[in-house]
Amino acid sequence: MQPVEARKEINAWVARATKNLITEVIKPESQSVDTRHVVGNAIYFKGEWLAPFDKSDTAEREFRRLDGSSVEVPFMQRPSGSYHHVACHDGFRVLRLPYKATSDTYNLKLRYSLPSFAMLVFLPDDRDGLPGLLDRITASPEFVDDHLPPGCVPVGRFRVPKFKLAFCHYGIADVLRGLGLRLPFDMFAAEMSGIAVEGDGEDAAMFVSSVIHKAVVEVNEEGSEAAAYTEESDDDLGCSLYDDDYTPPPKLVDFVADHPFAFFIVEERS
């Protein structure tokens, strides 16, 4: 297959696999006359919130960037006194937004065997605190799990922006080398006979020259949709409001994501 035809076929496959969230990952300039193989992987995720946001509550508010500038963006909101999975820690807060199960949630055996997904939002207290928070998150593999909300709390001001994020990273190979994965990128030491065509005489010279990663995430009132290439409830969000012995509700907790934050879409059962 010729390079142009191969590029078009790969991009068409990626578009189908990601429901057209990603339509192009291989650009003409990313190919060379020496390119013989492209190994691709694509994932697609579309989740509905366990309790969707009311579109009539969405309003334009100011979002402050890291450079100090600001922009008006639509914020999804909840009424004061509603309950959410929010945890307050030293210097940051964590929000857990669970997704609705996509199959027969009335079948208990099936329900607890299905994957369970949620979006986690790590929000620094300081408007310029994201870099420092990311350093803390990446310093320990257990950091995210250790700081998840243990339950629900009543919120005061609650705002999360709608957003669509897209990025393409062509320098993943350097990142992988930095993590210690060097052999596949060594043109003299790489051993790719497992994917080479037997007898083509070229397997000895095959190595990985580049790794491309592209991702798109869109979050709105209904839920989120994401793609990457390389229990039913009403309004209580699945929260148990009180124990058997009634205790007065705690102080209202604010969660206003009006400055840069980190987010993760996680599978919680495995």
pLDDT in tens, 50-60: 889 999 999 99
CATH, range 47-166+214-267:
2.30.39.10
Q: How confident is the model at residue 248 (pLDDT cuts 50, 70, 90)?
A: low
- Whether the CA torsion 136, 137, 143, 146 is positive or negative: it is positive
pLDDT above 60: residue 109: no
Q: How confident is the model at residue 115 (pLDDT cuts 50, 70, 90)?
A: low
Q: Which two tokens stand for residue 245?
A: 């012995």
Q: Could you tell me if 111 and 231 are in contact, meaning their C-beta atoms sit under 8 angstroms apart? A: yes
Rounded Cα–Cα distance for residues 78 and 156 (Å): 9
Using alpha carbons only, how large is the chain's radius of gyration in Å? 23
3-state secondary structure of 39: coil
3-state secondary structure of 97: strand
* Whole-number pLDDT of residue 169: 74
pLDDT above 50: residue 234: no
Q: Which two tokens stand for residue 121?
A: 């939002």
Domain edges within the chain? 47-166+214-267
* Whole-number pLDDT of residue 105: 47
User: What are the phi and psi torsion angles at 109 (to 5°)?
Assistant: -60, -40
Q: Could you tell me if 3 and 35 are in contact, meaning their C-beta atoms sit under 8 angstroms apart? A: yes
Of 101-115, 162-176, 187-201, the poorest mean pLDDT is in 101-115
Q: How confident is the model at residue 14 (pLDDT cuts 50, 70, 90)?
A: confident
Q: Which amino acid is at 214?
A: K
Rounded Cα–Cα distance for residues 168 and 150 (Å): 35
Q: Which two tokens stand for residue 224?
A: 């989120």
Q: Which two tokens stand for residue 95?
A: 């929000």
